[in-house]
Amino acid sequence: MGEPMNVGVVGAGNISGQYLRTLDALGNVRVRAVADRDPGRALAAARQAPGSRAATLDELLADDGIDVVLNVTPPEAHAEVALAAIAAGKHVYGEKPLAASTAGAREVLRAAERARLRVGCAPDTVLGTGIQTARSIVEDGVIGVPTSATAVMVGFGHERWHPDPEFYYLPGGGPLLDMGPYYLSALVHLLGPVTSVMAAAGRFRPLRTIATGARAGTTFETRVDTHVTGILQHESGALTTLVMSFDVLASRASTIEVHGTAGSLVVPDPNGFDGDCAVRTTADLTDWTVFGPTAGYVGAGRGYGLAEMAEAIEGARPHRASAELAYHVLDCSHTLLAAAAERTTLDVTSRCDVPPLVPLDHRAFGAG
């Protein structure tokens, strides 16, 4: 292994802490600088990463010692920051979605291709033992030929727990673009790319009230659809029924289930890295069999996708949390919203390769 890849973090909001904790434990990446619109927040975040410093965005981008920018800004800034990083000669790994719009995402992909730089994108939860074990079960034919799936993510809104939730209700947010990438990325890993969609969507609470933090009681406007129901046709022929909502108080539905010609599979929450899979097959109709981890990175956390990208760059191979997969997921999301608005079935024009399965891996990156 060569020298660790130096990381500059742009954005010091809620999610940055999870990345900083994970990256500090990995051997092939190290955080060297943190930038944020709020200098105090950048300083506080930098203190969580030994050897790093607070910086302005311009200072971070001008630092030739930084190899890759970790972009954890709000969605509307994803494309702008990614393009600036690429222009500065740096690889980019970003939080989902890849950009707020497909046009912005395409611009990022073109710029990276011209500069011969890598772009990676969350979610990397799909690289953990939960989704990878589920995928190995499907690929091993345990449930036969996959025919259908359900994916359900419901809640009553991020304003119930997040102190500054407005960006979740702006273009680039909403349940489909915020939480949907976890589910859609998992479905692509399990069933392959999506070829067409149909959908319906609604916006049932036009005003939201912050419930926690210093701004509790503040009311703001909802500017995106907050409940989306869709049907996805996969290239494999399988059909997925998708429900994404910030308008449902509670549900007992499984997050993802995959059904095949010989059985059914309950998949762990794709918003996490681990969890057991449960299978019932035609060979045993009486009970569910629980599968422990058989594939994926053990004990993974947010940032493993970046570390895997760094390893892939060193090894001159494609990385798994790719911009192409993230673009396909973004394209699926926007096509679902367009299908809902037009009340019709629409083709998904993008396609992506499904990354290789992650073998069961107990190591931390760079730890040998």
Quick: pLDDT tens for 22-62. 999 999 999 999 999 999 999 999 999 999 999 999 999 99
In a domain, 266, yes or no: yes
Q: What is the mean pLDDT of residues 356-362?
A: 95
Could you tell me if 135 and 262 lie in one domain?
A: yes
Could you tell me if 240 and 182 lie in one domain?
A: yes
Domain that holds residue 17: 5-121
Q: What is the mean pLDDT of residues 165-184?
A: 92
Query: Which of residues 366 and 331 earns the better pLDDT score?
Result: 331
Predicted pLDDT of residue 367: 66
In a domain, 206, yes or no: yes
In a domain, 352, yes or no: no
In a domain, 60, yes or no: yes
Could you tell me if 165 and 221 lie in one domain?
A: yes
Burial of 21 (0-12, 13-18, 19+ CB in 10 A): middle
Assess whether pLDDT exceeds 90 at residue 112.
yes
1: pLDDT confidence band, cut at 50, 70 and 90?
Answer: low
174: Cβ–Cβ under 8 A, 6 or more apart, which residues? 168, 224, 225, 226, 228, 246
In a domain, 333, yes or no: no
Q: What is the dihedral of CA 222, 227, 230, 234, to 10 degrees?
A: 70
Predicted pLDDT of residue 99: 95
Predicted pLDDT of residue 195: 98
Pairing of strands 346-347, 194-202: antiparallel
In a domain, 37, yes or no: yes
Q: What is the mean pLDDT of residues 143-171?
A: 95
Q: Residues 187, 238: contact at Cβ < 8 Å?
A: no
In a domain, 298, yes or no: no
Q: What is the mean pLDDT of residues 164-179?
A: 91
Could you tell me if 139 and 202 lie in one domain?
A: yes
Number of neighbouring beta carbons within 10 Å of residue 5? 21
How many CA atoms within 13 Å lie on the side-chain side of 365? 27
Mean pLDDT score of the chain: 96
Count of structural domains, the chain: 2
Choosing from 104, 121, 138, the residue where a domain stops is 121
Phi, psi of 130 (to 5 degrees): -65, -60
The token pair at 99 is 């950009």
Could you tell me if 152 and 97 lie in one domain?
A: no
Could you tell me if 150 and 23 lie in one domain?
A: no
Q: What is the mean pLDDT of residues 58-77?
A: 96
Could you tell me if 91 and 159 lie in one domain?
A: no
The token pair at 300 is 């993974």
